[in-house]
Chain A
Amino acid sequence: MAIVHMAGQGKNVVLKGKVIDSMDGYPLIGVSVIAAGQGAYTDVDGNYQISIPDVKCEVTFTYVGYEDEVKVYTTKNASAFSKIVMYMNATELEDVVVTGVYERKKESFTGASATFKADQLKSVGNNNVLQSLKTLDPSFKMMESTQFGSNPNMMPDIEIRGKTSVMGLKEEYGTDPNQPLFILDGFETTLETIMNLNMNRVASVTILKDAASTAIYGSKASNGVVVIETKAPARGRLQLSYKGDFGLSLADLSDYNLMNAREKLQFETLAGVYKDNSGNPFNQIRLDNLRNERLKEIERGVDTYWLSEPIRPGFTHKHNIYAEGGEDKIRYGIGLSYGDVDGVMKGSDRQTIEGNVDLIYRTGKFQFSNKLTIDYVKTADPTVSFAEYAYANPYYRKYGADGKVSRYLYYPEEGLEDFPVSNPLWNASLNSWARTGSFGFTNNFILEWFMTDALRARAKFGLTRADDDEQSRISPLHTRFDDMGETEKGLYTNTRVNQMVYEGDASITFGKLFADKHMVNAVGGFNFSSNRQQIYGYSANGFTDDQFDAPSFANGYPVSEKPEYKESLKRAVSFYVNGGYVYDDRYLMDFNYRLDGASMFGTGNRFRNTWSVGAGWNIHKESFMEGNDFFSFMKLRGSVGNPGNQNFSAYQAFSTYKFNGWMTNIFGTGVILNALGNTELAWQETVNYDLGADLTFWGERINLTFDYYWKDTDPLLAVITTPGSMGVTSIAMNAGRQKTQGWETTFRISPIYRPSEGINWNISFNATSSKSRYADIGNSFSALNESGKTSLVGTTRYYDGGSPTAIWAVRSAGIDPATGQELFIKKDGTYSFTYDVNDEVVVGDMQPKVEGLFGTSLYLKGFTAGCYIRYRWGGQVFNTSLFQKVENIGTEDVYNNQDKRALYDRWSEDNREAYFKGISMVQKTEKSSRFVMDDNALIGESFNIGYEFPDRMIRRMRISALNVQLTMTDMFRATSVRVERGIDYPFARSVTMAVGITF
């Protein structure tokens, strides 16, 4: 195609050719071509023509969003310029949907997805990718853990567009059945890996939500998919960059509302702690003395604030160095990351070291790329939980008379049936610890063959090995061993978890534009994976010394304990096909089919089909929209499909046996059934419908996305308790279904939008809402319902038509002013003082009616600022703090410190209009609507300011880019209900400064 001319005496040559997109073969329009001081652009068909002197020179093709393509003209290779393939820049994939299996232009994709680039993620937070995603996309939810607060070593529960599996069964499965699938650089990975991943390595994150986008992952996809791409090394001279994050977190104790010393003593007095019930006058004298002793201490000014003891400011620093470079054939990147996160509780620590090597080698039509990552994570956790400090009474002194930490806060006299109160500070001061070391190795290799313009083949193989070593030790001096013999004190436990995962994949991708109007894309492939996990564990006891803690100093093993060994092996294979057809850029169609086979499912149901179809309409490309400058983008799309869920344990479909090792007889050994399998167990699948619209208008200033979806999970897979006569008490079964519908929207407006001047001001708003209910479950969960009814605080029930998040309790009409008793409303509307569990109705729903974020960001010539505020409205919560720490304070709890409200607003003959019952140790309070409160909240989730230094300022320092950013997370929280949060570990607010330097 390229023709070499001879023109006059100065030898000139004309290079001609076409520039196309590597992905779909589309011609690229307006690519600038520069060589030897000459410049040209490609035309509407992607063709260019440039006349240059016929000497050796570099020809550079540049195009926004694509990597520069540099080719050397050697005077003999003009024909090599007839076709130039350009690659999209991985860091600027704004308009591309990356599914991990294939990529599609957003414009021609029918699925519901959201893509976020590195700088967007970084702009809202520096902790980890998921933390930022939560702020950016309303459908991505990270569950707040009231129990574990901001413990850096706790993995969060994550869900996209709500739960699809029966709740409360996480323990039974080992893996959270509602967790989305995580794909890192095209390979399946774990939540933990993503949490450990240094954010500075991330190029983009895509959330796939509906059937059209997730169905390519078949039976793993019903919870949604999070696709994370790390940065690929860029071409060019060696470039070194440094990114650093420095943070400070402080515990947020504002949700605690504990009594002070005087209040606590008053409360105890009212509750009758100092009143003898046995009729023994000596005991009454003793109790009087005890109270007087405590009162004297209070008069002396003792009012200990225990909550401040275990906490500290937590410092965080993370560093990432990355060197990258290379030329046409070889590109390389070498990175090293280190992170140290100190939690806000003393002794809580998480260190991560990660090294990675990325290599890309390209020759002819082949490209090899390999990503190797090795990481080591070291964690430490406090051994005394935060709750123990919250329990400690404020009238006790921290230190004994000798100025040392005393072992007990209170020790009863000899012969009394009273329990000693141990000092949490004493137990925390001992040589007790809980540590984990995890080593991980991941190598992902990809081989690509660009067969023709339209056809590409790819083979992938990934290998991951992870070894965890968890050790914990409780000192023999710990007060919990007080009643044990000397040879049983102290406890050491060790659990090792080894995991070996491999995954392989081969696929062929086709993409071609026919007759300028018919764009056809297709992918077909084969995938296999295997995951083997082994768990070894043992414990030892009988330590005699606090200081010397090696397991070798143990006396032996705890009585009747044996070593633990568990192994599970899961394997899966699948075949998949994806096809997309676009007519004239206007009408879009997608379909997916995947056949999955997995070892977890019974031979009767080993394989499963997943399908999806999607359709879309690009209205802005229609001829009637031509000349309309207002709408630059307007798309309607819809999809339906049936992705599945296989986050279930390995052998539940198979019956297994074990030796009954407790006895043998003259006939030798015996075996009996260990677990009854259900070979007919069917896969859990969710039929998923989605209707959506994407709009951009007013000169790109307003951006609106709206999705309405409904899902039907049928059948649910759950562990059901069975009648004892079946021979087992529970079995994994298919039972009933769950239907969910919801909507979500994101809206962004830029009142000031002057990109050419570097000024941009955005206001964003997003919202999500969903509702679920059970159907066809019948009596399958009656045992769970019964145990929920009798449990202390369980308010979740499983009934047809009921919501998984509904709060079930008996309605309350409040406290009867005359008697101080609670008045209940029965099912038929009548009033009664008698509590009957069968009067339970739905009194609230934990799912908010609407939840989301609003925020604003400003970009002004290198200066950025943003703030994101989460709102939650229309949900309810069962206030366990009121239920357990105000009323229902039992005979033992009364010795723990309690919520201030336990003292005030209590019914008495002088205060008849109180909200709470009278103070009593023996009166049991039942679960009623009195403790159900509206849970509306405003949370200052993320605030940030940043500055990108302009070129002229930093060039002298030989730095090519320099930026700093300050981010503050969870700075404030305004809620309509006051509940203690962070029981075992407090929540934290944090401030982080991020620095990025590229040399």
Chain B
Amino acid sequence: MKRIFTYMIVLAGLLAAGGCSKWLDVKPYDKIAEDELLLTEEGYMKLLNGIYIELNRDMLYGASLSVEMIEIMGGAYTVGTDNSVWGNYRDLAEYQYGTQYWRARMNETWNKAYSLILNCNMLLENIESDRKLFTEDNYRMVKGEALALRAMLHFDMLRLFGPVYSRNPQQKSIPYYKAYSVTPNDVLPASEVASEITHDLLEARILLANDPVREEGTMMESPSDGSSNFLRYRSLRLNYYAVSALLARSALYFGDKEAAYEYAMEVIKSGAFPFVDRALVTGSPDDPDRIFSSEVIFALSHSQRNTLFKNYYDPSRIPNYVFRMDNDLMSNVVFGGGAATGGNQDDYRYRVNWVATGANRYFYKYSDMNDTGNIRNTMIPMIRLGEMYLIAAECQSEDIAGGTAYVNALRSNRGVTNVPELTKEILQYEYIRELYGEGQLFFMYKRMFTPVMFSSQPSKNPQPDERIFVVPLPDSETEN
């Protein structure tokens, strides 16, 4: 008996000395513990992919920042006055950000974007010590993409909630999160956020230097041997060129035209994103490649992408609103108006994406191709080649007319004749033609500080104003 006691005391001592900390290290079973997830390179890849998937949420690029909220703000759609049909969209078209509904919506978008930034930071924080887990160049790939995602999300929040950068670069804008933190970060002046974004993108670009996209292109099909897709389907990830393209876009937004030109040209010259095959557009009028998929530098992959069409653009949508361009704007300016606007109904972008039903034409960019299993039917374009040409045109020199050739190079691949001389207006119309329904128009007007083109009649277009272009920070940010 005494011996048993002695044993127990010894056992207790042993437990105490060595096992305690280990025994207290409890792993949850109904959730995934961080240190169990990040034990392998696959764990990191799953986390990275999880972030890409979440970008498809409605409050981000699944609707709000691609086809819905941001495009209303960008004047893309004609919004009726009947509240029973148009609900809260009327308020947004009038830039009434203070309504309860839009405050809540902006809050959702903000919270989701920053929650994904936190995911990037959790990944980036852990990956340094786990470098040895990765094979080949995967450490650099994962880290590079995560940094680029973090920069991209911050950039879009800055474009939405920040000041009109060209006018007030020093104005307080948004916080920039570079690490997981239990205390809130300060709201920074826009210029500081800009340098953080640029810094992250540059670092990502260095890390992605060996991205296979540079040698082998986008590789938009699965390998025949059934091996991993991780280094394939590059235009569904923030690849090397996508980072360059983001640098071009952000440099232009931050007023550094020289850099913007350099990065845009790098992407253009790479040849990794060839112009869409004419045969896929005019050759198959019943089943065209409406998003010009080969030109997409980076796209999200949304398994139910046709809901974008069905929820917002489908003319058979009942009973409420259908999003479409103002008829007059379309026929007299964007896809009409001849040399003065560059608008022409031969434009592929008109022929494949605007389909007539009754008296109106409806937007079909997000309607599915017949081949149901096709990866193209899942793509939500985030940045594309056409924008690179437009950036190059705007940035080649101080004189915008000098960029005529770049715009014409793009136009020749859209089946339309050259414009004689590029003007700021024609450039804007070209943006509308090229990037309609992709969530970029509002940011273009905000950058250029010009009226938002809802209509062909200038009097109906809201004049540039901070009140229109600067969305107030969400409640959750200011109240806590």
Contacts and interface: CB of A to CB of B under 8 A. Distances in A.
A786 interface: yes
Given A506-B9, A670-B49, A567 B30 contact: yes
A650 B33 CA distance: 13
Interface stretch (B132-140, B179-187, B278-286): B179-187
A256 B303 CA distance: 58
Nearest to B115: A727
Nearest to A785: B479
A811 B375 CA distance: 65
Nearest to B118: A727
A727 B177 contact: yes
A606 B21 contact: yes
A366 B4 CA distance: 12
A730 to B, nearest CB: 9
A654 B34 contact: yes
Contacts of A506: 8-9, 12
A674 interface: yes
Nearest to A597: B24
Contacts of A598: 24
Nearest to A575: B16
B131 interface: no
B344 interface: no
Q: Which of B2, B23, B30, B184 has the most CB of A within 10 A?
A: B30
B47 A728 contact: no
Given A663-B56, A665-B53, A656 B229 contact: no
Interface string B271-303: 000000000000000000000000000000111
Interface string B153-188: 000000000000000000000110100111011000
Contacts of A779: 480
Interface string B2-21: 10010011001001100011
B111 A571 contact: no
Nearest to A565: B30
Interface in B252-278: none
A673 interface: yes
Nearest to B56: A663
* Most-contacted residue by chain A among B12, B23, B116, B185 (CB, 10 A): B12
A666 B233 CA distance: 8
A366 B3 CA distance: 13
Contacts of A660: 50, 53-54
A916 to B, nearest CB: 31
B479 A733 contact: no
B49 A668 contact: yes
B239 interface: no
Interface string A746-762: 00000000000000000
Contacts of B241: none
B56 A656 contact: no
A724 B24 contact: no
Would you call the interface of chain B mostly helix, strand, loop, or mixed? helix
Interface in A731-775: 731, 733
Interface string B111-138: 1001111110110000000000000000
A568 B28 contact: yes
Given A449-B1, A567-B29, A670-B51, A663 B302 contact: yes
Interface in B409-452: none
A606 B49 CA distance: 33
A943 to B, nearest CB: 50
Contact of A658 (B32, B45, B175, B304): B32
Nearest to B32: A657
Interface string B37-69: 100000101111111111010000000000000
Contacts of B479: 782-783, 786
A671 B32 contact: yes
Q: How extensive is the interface on chain B, given as a class?
A: 35 or more
Contacts of B110: 724-725
Contacts of B181: 726
Interface string A864-886: 00000000000000000000000
Contact of A449 (B2, B23, B177, B477): B2
Contacts of B32: 656-659, 671, 674
B476 A729 contact: yes
A665 B375 CA distance: 10
B16 A573 contact: yes
B236 A665 contact: yes
A627 B38 CA distance: 77
Interface string A566-579: 11111111010000
A667 B49 contact: yes
B37 A671 contact: yes
A405 interface: no
Interface in A637-680: 650-651, 654-660, 663-678, 680
A723 B186 CA distance: 11
Contacts of A571: 23-24, 26
A836 B108 CA distance: 29
Contacts of A528: 15, 23
A603 B480 CA distance: 28
A673 B120 CA distance: 10
B34 A724 contact: no
Given A526-B16, A654-B33, A725-B185, A599 B24 contact: yes
A464 B15 CA distance: 22
Given A567-B29, A729-B111, A724 B53 contact: no
A671 B42 CA distance: 11
B244 interface: no
B46 A654 contact: no
Contacts of B122: 655, 673
- Which of A572, A606, A723, A782 has most chain B Cβ within 10 Å? A723
A421 interface: no
B345 interface: no
A459 interface: yes
A731 B49 CA distance: 25
A459, A506, A655 pick with most chain B CB within 10 angstroms: A655
Nearest to A672: B50
B367 interface: no
A777 to B, nearest CB: 13
Given A597-B20, A599-B24, A783-B479, A670 B50 contact: yes
B3 to A, nearest CB: 11
Greatest chain B CB density within 10 A among A575, A671, A673 is at A673
Contacts of A676: 118, 180
A721 interface: yes
Nearest to A535: B30
Contact of A656 (B28, B51, B222, B303): B28
B145 to A, nearest CB: 11
A726 B114 contact: yes
Nearest to A526: B12
Given A665-B378, A672-B119, A733-B182, A567 B111 contact: no
Contacts of A728: 115, 118
Looking at A570, A573, A667, the one whose CB has the most chain B CB atoms below 10 A away is A667
Interface in A686-737: 721-729, 731, 733
Nearest to A667: B49
A457 interface: yes
B327 interface: no
A969 B25 CA distance: 48
Contacts of A650: 26, 28
B107 interface: yes
17 contacts: A567-B29, A570-B26, A571-B23, A598-B24, A654-B34, A656-B28, A657-B31, A663-B302, A664-B53, A665-B52, A667-B233, A670-B46, A673-B115, A676-B180, A722-B480, A725-B175, A727-B118
Interface of A: 366, 449, 457, 459, 506, 526, 528, 565-573, 575, 597-599, 603, 606, 650-651, 654-660, 663-678, 680, 721-729, 731, 733, 779, 782-783, 786
Q: What 3 pairs across the A-B complex have the smallest Cβ distances?
A: A727-B118, A670-B50, A656-B31
Given A671-B37, A725-B184, 8 more contacts: A457-B5, A506-B8, A568-B28, A655-B34, A656-B32, A657-B34, A666-B222, A727-B117
